[in-house]
Amino acid sequence: MKLLFILDPLESLKAHKDTSLAIMRAAQSRGHELFVSQQHDLFLRGETAKINAQKFTFTAQQFSTEQAIEYVPAAFDAIIMRKDPPFDNEYLYSTYLLEIAAEQGGKVYNKPSAIRSWNEKLSVTRFPQFAPEFLVTANNNLIREFLNSHQDIVVKPLDGMGGSSIFRLSLTDPNISVILETITNFGARTIMAQRYLPEILQGDKRIIVIDGMPLPYALARIPKAGETRGNLAAGGTGVAQALSARDLEIATTVGKTLKQAGLFLVGLDVIGDFLTEINVTSPTGMVEIAKQTDCKPAQVFLEALEKR
């Protein structure tokens, strides 16, 4: 197959842990041709979608790329969107262009309209049976009422990643006002508040779902001492562990809906028994799971893609 990956700049990727590169290595070992592009390499010429792509090959030293050539999206057997958030206007425009590319024969994973529709924070509201108590608002008074009710909460922006700008608030915090003013931009930015889950100390579990089916292991991201966030980008430690019965219930139930929506690769975040986020842009964790278990997530991904 000819596989095109839309990535952040190659020099910004951490070769030893990047999930996109892990998938690409596995793809090359299976005989597939690799191509890479960045977000703004996709464009319209008239009504026709085009994309500038470079052929990519892993080498003994690192990798090599050839000069970019202009293609129509249908030239590839799969286009895999792996651009990291934030989900800003440029990301939004990319989903529109990818949707046009799909209408013209491109096979895009994840489905562009689904990436657009499934906000990574708000999507848990589709599964209230699994979500902790939450509030979505820009109104600081409502957030204070939520805090008074639950006494210990987490507030986070709707477009963040890697644990950025996530705050834990308790009733005794002397900085409640300034935190709420900052995160809501004085009531002009909508955020999500969730009841704090003390089970975070045992890890924020990343469950990888591929074509509707979860891997048998989650990556529990355990916060470093004195930290609320378990994200690896925030200094957490990743420990692979077998899915619990509750993890499996959440992942299989949610996975069916994800597959129907056209979301091929998704990362579910589960703390304790609760679903806290649904990551549809560029979920990670494959490398750590592969290193610590007998599961090979990149191979599972490619086997599912080949069946498609």
Annotated catalytic residues are 121, 156, 206, 221, 229, 269, 277, 279
Taking the CA atoms of residue 35, residue 38, residue 39 and residue 42 in that order, the dihedral angle to the nearest 10 degrees is: -50
User: Residue 96: how many CB atoms within 10 A of its CB?
Assistant: 13
What's the rounded Cα separation, in Å, for the pair 58 and 216?
A: 29
| Whether 133 contacts 127, CB under 8 Å | no
Residue in the structure block whose two tokens are 């003994």: 60
User: Residue 14: how many CB atoms within 10 A of its CB?
Assistant: 9
Phi-psi region of 225 (alpha: psi -120 to 50; beta: other; left: phi over 0): beta
C-alpha to C-alpha distances, 220 to 116, 205, 288, nearest whole angstrom: 27, 4, 10
Phi, psi (degrees; rounded to nearest 5) at 222 = -95, 125
Where helices occur in the chain by DSSP H, the ranges are 19-29, 89-103, 112-117, 140-150, 176-183, 245-261, 286-292, 297-307
| Whether 152 contacts 195, CB under 8 Å | yes
C-alpha to C-alpha distances, 68 to 8, 38, 61, 129, nearest whole angstrom: 16, 11, 21, 48
